[in-house]
């Protein structure tokens, strides 16, 4: 139980970080919504989806954190599972948005000639709509009955009422997505680095030659566009790193919860 001084410190810290995160994501959304150029590019639809997920997640997490640690309110089973569903949905949608962005960037580098045909604005909207639908459905499963109280099964030590099989399913799905994202961005950075080296060696030219992994010539593109792809790839890698730093410890504790016993120290 926190002392009044600790409660005040927690409240100030949570509100400060929460406000910063909310304003940051609102700024990203405003920039994208007010730019016709960005709105016309499918990549920024996925980035906007990521900003919305992080915005919702920040609001729900800060509210739930303060509600429990500072106000000490005790929710009913359904209210608790509903709040937890909001956190799960936002985090799943955040990882899903990064997953879609990784696919988008992977296609733009691996199949540049077919990119505009494969990745269209309509397909982008359908993709993140399906992704959000899946994220919401998965997050609502405990509320709909996949919980340890309804099934009389083993509960998670971290999340009361959450069935360990559900936690294992969610962690496994998230891990697979993150591993693919890391692979895709490693490939993108490797490919973009070669493009950047080629551009610097041909700085007087307005275009560069793009090659497939097999070394065959496929297309010429403007150097500025290649530099933009490289900057976007680096930005997305930083976002991924920040996501792993922020949520990695919690995921690690979740994995430990599945295979060990979470003590009071943890």
Q: Domain holding 159: CATH number?
A: 1.20.1070.10
Which of 30 and 215 is assigned the larger pLDDT? 30
Confidence of residue 102 (pLDDT cuts 50, 70, 90): confident
216 lies in which domain range? 4-259
Mean pLDDT score, 144-154: 88
Whole-number pLDDT of residue 62: 82
pLDDT single digits (tens) 242-263: 767 766 666 676 777 666 665 5
Structure tokens at 128: 């993140």
Residue 208: pLDDT band (50, 70, 90) is: very low
Number of structural domains (the chain) is 1
Task: Express as a percent the part of the chain with pLDDT over 90.
Answer: 18
Query: Higher-confidence residue: 170 or 260?
Result: 170
Q: Can you tell me the distance from the alpha carbon of 67 to that of 7, in angstroms, rounded to the nearest whole number?
A: 11
CA atoms within 13 A on the CB side of 21: 23
Q: Is 97 exposed, middle or buried (0-12, 13-18, 19+ CB in 10 A)?
A: buried
C-alpha distance from residue 216 to each of 70, 112, 197 (Å): 62, 13, 18
Min mean pLDDT across 88-92, 188-192, 257-261 is at 257-261
Nearest of 33, 176, 40, 178 to residue 98 by alpha carbon: 178
Instruction: With respect to residue 217, please indicate whether it lies within any of the assigned structural domains.
Output: yes
Q: Which one, of 239, 262, 265, 255, lies nearest residue 53 by Cα? A: 239
CA 149/CA 163 separation, integer angstroms: 8
Q: What is the CB neighbour count within 10 angstroms for residue 175?
A: 13
pLDDT tens digits for range 28-45: 899 999 988 888 888 889
- Mean pLDDT value across residues 183-202: 70
pLDDT of residue 100: 92
Counting Cβ atoms within 10 Å, is residue 131 exposed (0-12), middle (13-18) or buried (19+)? buried
Find the mean pLDDT for residues 219-238. Answer: 59
The predicted model gives 16-36 an average pLDDT of 88
In a domain, 266, yes or no: no
Instruction: Tally Cβ neighbours within 10 Å of residue 263.
Output: 7
Instruction: Assess if residue 264 is contained within a domain.
Output: no
For every residue of 192-230, which 3-state class applies, written as one string? Answer: HHHHHHHHHHCCCCCEEEEECCCCCEEEEEEHHHHHHHH
**Greater pLDDT, 7 or 230:** 7
């Amino acid at each position: 139980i926190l002392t009044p001084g600790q409660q005040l410190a927690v409240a100030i810290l949570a509100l400060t970080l929460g406000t910063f995160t909310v304003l940051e994501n609102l700024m990203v959304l405003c920039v994208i919504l007010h730019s016709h150029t960005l709105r016309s590019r499918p990549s920024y639809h996925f980035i906007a989806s990521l900003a919305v997920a992080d915005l919702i997640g920040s609001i729900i997490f800060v509210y739930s954190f303060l509600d429990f640690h500072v106000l000490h309110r005790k929710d009913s089973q359904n209210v608790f599972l509903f709040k937890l569903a909001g956190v799960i949905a936002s985090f799943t949608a955040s990882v899903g948005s990064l997953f879609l962005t990784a696919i988008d960037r992977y296609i733009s580098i691996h199949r540049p000639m077919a990119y505009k045909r494969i990745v269209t604005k309509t397909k982008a909207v359908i993709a993140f709509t399906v992704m959000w639908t899946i994220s919401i459905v998965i997050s609502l499963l405990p509320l709909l009955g996949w919980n340890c109280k309804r099934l009389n099964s083993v509960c998670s030590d971290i999340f009361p009422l959450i069935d360990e099989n559900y936690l294992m399913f969610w962690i496994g799905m998230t891990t697979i997505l993150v591993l693919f994202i890391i692979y895709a961005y490693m490939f993108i950075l490797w490919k973009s680095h070669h493009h950047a080296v080629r551009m610097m060696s041909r700085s007087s030219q307005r275009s560069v030659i793009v090659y497939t992994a097999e070394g065959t010539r496929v297309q010429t593109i403007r150097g500025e566009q290649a530099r933009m792809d490289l900057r976007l790839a680096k930005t997305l890698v930083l976002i991924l790193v920040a996501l792993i730093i922020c949520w990695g410890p919690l995921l690690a504790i979740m994995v430990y919860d599945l295979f060990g016993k979470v003590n009071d120290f943890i």
